[in-house]
Amino acid sequence: MRPIDALVAALPPGRVVTDPDVADSYARDRTFVEPGKPLGVVLAATREDVVTTMRWASEHRVPVVPRGAGTGLAGAATATDGAVVLSLARMTAIRELSPADEIAVVEPGVITADLDRAAREHGLMYAPDPSSYEISTIGGNLATNAGGLRCVKYGVTRDSALGLEVVLADGRVLNTGRRTMKGVTGYDLTGLFVGSEGTLGVITAATVRLRQAPAQPPATFAAEFGSLREAGAAVAAIMAAGCQPSLMELMDRATLEAIDDWRNIGLEPGTDAMLIGQSDASDSQAVVERMEALCVENGASFVAVSSSPQEAEELIGVRRMAYHAGERLGACLVEDVCVPRSALPEMIGAVEAAAAAHGAKILTVAHAGDGNLHPVFIFEHGLTEPPANVWAAADEVFTRALELGGTLTGEHGVGLLKQRWLALEAGPVTQEVQQGIKAVFDPLGILNPGKAI
């Protein structure tokens, strides 16, 4: 009997897919990396399925690649040759939602926006909102420690994770963390699993923190600037004034041109940057007017402030067009560096210089309040991976981010994509320690080998 047949026999009927074409559709995320050929795909419906799969994998030394919806942008869910893909997408129960305690207990396959909607029925929200949140899962968000637009105010996925149920490599079940807002019993195992890209265990449930949803719709502004430097100064002034924006997004000239070519937003020749900000505070209109004044003080050529939720949506809508505008131009490698906030204009300048030096087309949008940039490298549709000049430009972008005190990845993760730059940031002691931790949880090296660290 082949090992995979033993797995089929051990699981309830219909859980394992071995058809190569179907399996291939579970082998990729949204990264330009050619996957390997997996033995098959487990469509886990229960924690017990995961336990059975991991026991089998340990017995047969078969690598396991856990995945949620496959919306990742770093290749953490890319299948490898001879591995079994373990999909958690069918575990979609919201086991509990407690408005009084502002927590929910959810399975990993719950779509992020579905949890947010369930919370809003009780006046609450689930704050982390990666751009993919209508299609990504909580499990994938946890595995990559996903960020989003609101995290400038509410923090990243880690900041909403209170406890986890995890199946370890050998099939044992570990419960980390707690249901309480605070707690310091033992080491922070919850934090260790969040962002570990399935290399330490398989998350089968999470206790997450909910927050009170703002009672009124947010107020929004959009400001145009003649230079990145002025836009950066406006960001600094807004943060220094304690405005606590719930969203603060910056787009460069290349992005604005791509949007204007598509939807004609009336882009002026002298506009080099647009800043879009939002407040969801109880005095949001007053806060947004303060942010508007700070934009003007710092050289904005034009500022629009929403006077209704519809207008707010229109202003944010420009930002939402950015990726689609990029996809019209070609295939997109969406990158993800983060720098100290004061280095934001310099970093965007470095991206533009790298684009010019290597003949690469790059559109940059940034979660400006966090210093988190997404340079979108455009290349020819139909290529299976980015060409050499794109990688050369990306290399320059990563190197410059590190020189500016930044990091290779603000919210997408290391996956496979950043492996070749990892040593530049992590250093040998960190890498050795991380390998040691990995070995504690996964002595056989079967959990998503080659990812994250």
Q: Which of residues 404-423 bind a copy of itself (CB under 8 A)?
A: 405-414, 418, 422
Q: Which stretch binds a copy of itself (CB under 8 A): 18-26, 43-51, 223-231, 402-410?
A: 402-410
Q: Which of 48, 102, 314, 327 binds a copy of itself (CB under 8 A)?
A: 102
We find the least distance from the C-beta atom of residue 144 to a copy of itself, in angstroms, to be: 7
Q: Which stretch binds a copy of itself (CB under 8 A): 7-15, 78-86, 334-342, 358-366?
A: 334-342
Contacts by residues 296-299 (CB-CB < 8 Å, ≥ 24 positions apart):
297/234, 297/237, 298/225, 298/230, 298/231, 298/233, 298/234, 298/237, 299/225, 299/226, 299/227, 299/230, 299/233, 299/234
Of 49, 77, 79, the closest CA to residue 62 belongs to 79
196 contacts a copy of itself (rule: CB under 8 A): yes
212 contacts a copy of itself (rule: CB under 8 A): yes
CA distance 78 to 93: 25
241 contacts a copy of itself (rule: CB under 8 A): yes
Query: For residues 350 and 394, is the Cβ–Cβ distance under 8 A?
Result: no
Q: Which of residues 128-157 bind a copy of itself (CB under 8 A)?
A: 144-145, 147, 151, 155-156
Q: Which stretch binds a copy of itself (CB under 8 A): 312-320, 323-331, 377-385, 435-443?
A: 435-443
72 contacts a copy of itself (rule: CB under 8 A): no
Site string for a copy of itself, 337-376 (x = CB under 8 A): -xxxxx------------------------x-xxxx----
We find the least distance from the C-beta atom of residue 18 to a copy of itself, in angstroms, to be: 32
CA distance 218 to 125: 14
Q: Which of residues 216-235 bind a copy of itself (CB under 8 A)?
A: none
453 contacts a copy of itself (rule: CB under 8 A): yes
Q: Between 44 and 287, whose beta carbon lies closer to a copy of itself?
A: 287
Pairing of strands 173-177, 202-209: unpaired
- The Cα-based distances of 361 to 200, 228, 311, 333 in angstroms read 37, 18, 31, 11
Helices (H), 247-361: 253-263, 284-297, 309-329, 344-357
Query: For residues 197 and 144, is the Cβ–Cβ distance under 8 A?
Result: yes
Q: Which of 13, 14, 240, 382 binds a copy of itself (CB under 8 A)?
A: 240
CA distance 323 to 336: 14
We find the least distance from the C-beta atom of residue 268 to a copy of itself, in angstroms, to be: 29
